[in-house]
Amino acid sequence: MNPQEFLSSLGPKDLVLVGEHLWEGEAGAWRVGGEQRLFQALAGLARRNGLQVVAVQPHPSWESWDGDGIRWVGVPPGRRSGWRRWLWNRRLHAHLSPLARVVYSYAELAHPKRVPGAVIWQHGVAWDGRSPERQWRSRRQNKAVLADCAAIVCVDTNFPNVLASSLRHLEPLHRACVYIPNFPTVAPAGVPAVPEGPTRVVYVRRFGAGRGTDLMADAARMLWDQGLDFELDMVGYSERGLEEAMIRERLAPELGSGRATLRKLGFDQVHEAYERAHIAVVPTRQGEGTSLACLEAFAFGLPVVATWIGGLPDLVQDGLNGRLVAPRLADVAAALAELIRDPAGRLRLREGALESARRFSRERWEAQVLGCLSGLGWIPGSTR
């Protein structure tokens, strides 16, 4: 059976996850990122509750393979830019069975065609700070899916409020949206210990301007020039390596001396960065949902210096579990300097961070997801 026939054969016992960059073919593993970690958790939960899981993503040619207990289907073209996004959407839905239980990673993947009664897993507002054309297109796509989707799972409260600002009638939005915040996908087995040694700051993110990678590098540079003594661990990657080149240029002396480190870690290794750190920084400029980096830092007892962008105010309470500041260099640097200079203050915030992590537990997330899918009649044995 070729991939097209396989997609046409799917039915109500098949959960289909539609994403863009989920699986890394060369590595034979999930790509590193928040969307990927949440879909990996969703796939595992679905399998444990009687559903077969299929995942679909762009690929240079029609192809299928098995990985992590999932049947993967690659749909051409491999890049969804410009007119290719429309071609990819139409090509997928020319074969995808309308009987399958489909979850789209975001609304753009479900436009212009989609399976009626599908679920959109919305990872936050992704069109802030974009071009007017991109903002118009994103709002149009999100409005369109309201008409026939079964639910929009929102990982933060920012998304439904922003979308509501462009709607005349709010009832469809209120009917469709379900608030299910993320959980820390990396967490210690017990109560984490406070590491010994010099103050260590950690930045664990996919690198990019929207993620504030340059803000982190420049804030560290500013504070080192002011004479503050701390170490910095920057963990992540960018698609083309441009952010890594920027970090190497701006932090060259510290990278050479070992005061700063720059590395990429897999899902099963990233705990090493949190275990050695005292403070985490999440200096987002745009496109943030319920930040996994923030939740993971909380789980390890790290106070978080974050910006008031997207879903971060749902997590960080200024003075209770971290600092919430404007996405400006001076503000990020000042808040970070305050925590570096005040070990006793960090310990007070540590208790708030650990309590916040408990409120966003995996058990709570799984119960909410199962409640949503059971309410739709997707889980075998449940009724709508």
pLDDT tens column, 318-330 = 999 999 999 999 9
Same domain flag for 351 and 368: no
DSSP H/E element including 335:
helix 329-341
In a domain, residue 314? The reply is yes
**Residue 61 or residue 128, greater confidence:** 61
For residue 33, pLDDT beyond 80: yes
Tell me which of 75-84, 186-195, 232-241 is least confident: 75-84
Distance CA 378, CA 186 (A): 28
Same domain flag for 216 and 177: no
The CATH number of residue 175's host domain is: 3.40.50.2000
Structural domain of 354: 200-360
Same domain flag for 334 and 368: no
Residue 82's pLDDT is what? 76
In a domain, residue 122? The reply is yes
Residue 105, token pair as written in the block: 């990673």
In a domain, residue 13? The reply is yes
Same domain flag for 238 and 316: yes
In a domain, residue 327? The reply is yes
Question: Count of domains in the chain?
Answer: 2
Residue 366's pLDDT is what? 97
* 35-52 average pLDDT score: 95
**48 touches 134 (CB < 8 A):** no
Same domain flag for 167 and 79: yes
Count how many Cα atoms sit within 13 Å of the Cα of residue 175 in the half-sphere of its side chain. 11
- Most confidently predicted of 17-31, 36-50, 141-155: 36-50
In a domain, residue 195? The reply is no
* 47-54 average pLDDT score: 97
In a domain, residue 329? The reply is yes
**295 touches 207 (CB < 8 A):** no
For residue 118, pLDDT beyond 70: yes
Same domain flag for 177 and 242: no
Confidence label for 169 from pLDDT (cuts 50, 70 and 90): confident
Confidence label for 383 from pLDDT (cuts 50, 70 and 90): low
Same domain flag for 18 and 140: yes
Same domain flag for 229 and 114: no
In a domain, residue 189? The reply is no
DSSP H/E element including 52:
strand 52-58
Same domain flag for 232 and 367: no
Same domain flag for 222 and 149: no
In this structure, what are the phi and psi dihedrals at residue 198, rounded to the nearest 5 degrees?
Answer: -65, 155
Same domain flag for 347 and 371: no
Same domain flag for 74 and 41: yes
Residue 384's pLDDT is what? 64
Distance CA 253, CA 248 (A): 9
In a domain, residue 194? The reply is no
